[in-house]
Structure 1
């Protein structure tokens, strides 16, 4: 017979804390999903918990006709693709030389202090706004992706992962005539797949969830990213009814701003929920092996 594994009090407390933490994150999501599938009355009276009340697809039927939502959705997709590509390229380009010792890169410590300094201090909101405006980037996608083009935390994770790669591989490649560019892209980058997948996940989530910069730098409604659009939703019923036909008004009366906006939030979560399982297997190893060692 197999001996039962005894769980210590410490482990039990840790598991309890983790379960409570997971539930505190999961319950609001389930509640939002339930509200999006509930009717107007149940949602407004607070009767919806984790299970929809008076199940209806009215919110999603209305969402299909919401052109601004899908326009903003596409803007966020473009932002994620462009922003993640820029983040990844610049992170690799910065992390690789910083992973070298002082004999190979004499000025390494100077640049490293500059990098760390930017983690602690920034120019501030107003100077950043003035800079973006002066560079003629206002109301463009570049105002959303260029200010955070070099994520310092990702650079440090990738830099320390590069440090863990045996130097013998680089020396052998150099003896065979490989250039530094070839060594970086054909040896170090493929071996750093866990760390790269981890920082890619960080970049994707950051760009997809960002809303504040869209409120500051984007003036045209058709250029708003999705999260900025969702955050700025207001219950302007009179203006909405003014442009509706009679059939649309009847359908709208089955909705509330709460159910309609909940449906938008649920749809906006789908891309991240779809991407995360493919990168999750690299997440733990990427974080642990790229832990700060400075």
Structure 2
């Protein structure tokens, strides 16, 4: 019933609904609002809706169009890329020969395996060390609490520099080893502080109750703190994983053996610098064997470097906002 529907009095007079509500002390009925729209936000106009749609469509196209050209080019033949002058926009005869060539046991296959191993091992080590450091720093009265926290904060603003870091890695005999790609950046002070703030927000009474029942610090961490912190730990693991997967600078500094290169360094050397992939030809069409060379190979390597993050991210995305907000510094 709308707010203007009249009422009939005992004498038969017609009384407007709003006047009747006021006389009876009832709250006047209001038109229904969209439950997803705040009360202070006015109803959107048609022009505003169309403008938002156009702007968002342009942004989406600006993001998807380069990705589309990379995917289509990687699935095209060398002759099509030459005819298109480089990148292919309109797909023709699609083929997976470029992916078959780079995954046939050559440089790219080996680099992909190296990147997967470094990312898995490095993420595990970084998350474990960060959780342990953050839990220790979150407990008031822990040994060296304030000095250690101060050291963590200093590292966020000051660094030793590239040459001292290289000398340190060299003195530890880590040059040309996979540990040189993991240990120098194993712990991020920013991630430790996010975890610490989250752990400090856990109700102390819960932890005290566990200690009264006889649980030690390791059991409290494993059985209470970590299950309550799955969201923020997942976000930190994503941060570390993306960092290890995309890192190439440490490999460029510390790895001299090409067989130990991660995928991102191969991508930089063979795609961005234009170096020809071993076994991929000289950029000419191999009609006899049907081999794909040149631009399709480069785009296939790019797709191979992007896909793992695109696959993993949706599984962590639902924890992303919750983990970052809960672990943020409150002002």
User: For the superposition of Structure 1 and Structure 2, which TM-score range results when normalised by the shorter chain?
Assistant: 0.7 to 0.9
Please, which moves more after superposition, 60-69 or 76-85? 60-69
Please tell me whether residue 84 in structure 1 is matched to residue 84 in structure 2. no
Q: What's the offset of the Cα at 1:131?
A: 0.9
CA distance in 2, matches of 1:2, 1:39: 58
Bigger Cα Rg? 2
2:249 matched residue in structure 1: 212
**Partner in structure 2 of residue 236 of structure 1:** 276
Is contact 1:47-1:53 (8 Å) kept?
A: no
Residue in structure 2 matched with residue 160 of structure 1 by the alignment: 197
- Which residue number corresponds to residue 245 of structure 1? none
1:88-126 C-alpha deviation (Å, 9 max, x unpaired): 11101110122233xx23743322221111111111111
Tell me the distance in 1 between the aligned counterparts of 2:154 and 2:321: 27
- The alignment status of 1:263 with 2:300, answered yes or no, reads yes
Which segment is superposed worse, 203-212 or 251-260?
A: 251-260
- Are residues 1:36 and 2:59 paired? no
> What is the SS of the residue equivalent to 2:184?
coil
The TM-score, its normalising length taken from structure 2, stands at 0.76
Select the structure that is richer in helix.
Answer: 1
Q: Distance in 2 between matches of 1:251 and 1:138?
A: 43
Match of 1:75 in 2: 114
How far apart are 1:23 and its partner, in Å? Answer: 4.5
Unaligned runs of 5+ in 2: 1-30, 38-42
Q: Deviations over 1:142-161 (max 9, x none)?
A: 00000011111211111111
Higher relative CO (Cα under 8 Å, sequence separation at least 6) belongs to: 1
Paired position in structure 1 for 2:258: 221
Give yes or no for contact 1:198–1:282 (8 Å, CA) kept in 2: yes
Residues 1:27 and 2:27 aligned together: no
- Give per-residue Cα distances to partners, 1:204-251, cap 9 Å, x unaligned: 111111111111111111111111111111343898659xxxxx9436
- The answer on whether the counterparts of 1:34 and 1:52 sit within 8 Å (CA) in structure 2 is yes
Confirm or deny that 1:277 pairs with 2:327: no
Q: Which runs of 5+ in 1 are unaligned?
A: 243-247
Question: What number of residue pairs does the alignment pair up?
Answer: 286
